[in-house]
Amino acid sequence: MVTGGEKLSTPAAFFDLDRTVMSGASTYYFAKAAVKSGFYSRRLLVRGAWKTFWFRRRGASDEQSASARDQVLAAVHGRTRAGLEALLPDVLGPILLNVYPEIYRRILDHERNGVRTYLCSASPIEVVQPVARALGMTGALATMAETDSDGVYTGQLIGPFCYGPGKVTAIEIEAKSSDLDLSASWAYSDSMSDCPMLEAVGHAVAVNPDRALRAVATEREWEILRVEPRHGLRAAVGAGIVTGGAGVGLGTAWLLRRMSKRT
Alpha-carbon distance of 144 to 127, in angstroms, equals 10
Euclidean distance between CA atoms 174 and 10, whole angstroms:
12
- Which candidate in 18, 90, 190, 194 is catalytic? 18
Catalytic residue among 16, 190, 194, 210: 16
The answer to whether 19 and 208 have CB atoms below 8 angstroms apart is yes
Respond yes or no: is residue 181 known to be catalytic: no
Per-residue pLDDT tens over the stretch 5-37? 455 689 999 999 999 999 988 878 887 888 888
Ordered per-residue pLDDT tens for the chain, 263 residues: 344 445 568 999 999 999 999 998 887 888 788 888 877 666 656 555 445 444 444 445 555 566 667 766 767 777 888 988 888 888 888 899 899 999 999 999 999 999 999 999 988 898 899 999 999 999 999 999 899 999 998 888 898 888 889 999 999 999 999 999 999 999 999 999 899 999 999 999 999 999 999 999 999 999 999 998 865 445 444 434 333 334 444 455 555 554 445 44
Residues near 192 by Cβ (< 8 Å), separated by ≥ 6? Answer: 59, 209, 210, 212, 213, 216
pTM of the model as a whole: 0.81
Q: Which domains does the chain have, with CATH numbers?
A: 12-262 (3.40.50.1000)
Q: How far apart are CA 263 and CA 258, in angstroms?
A: 9
Distance CA 180, CA 143 (A): 21
Determine how β-strand 139-147 pairs with β-strand 153-158: antiparallel
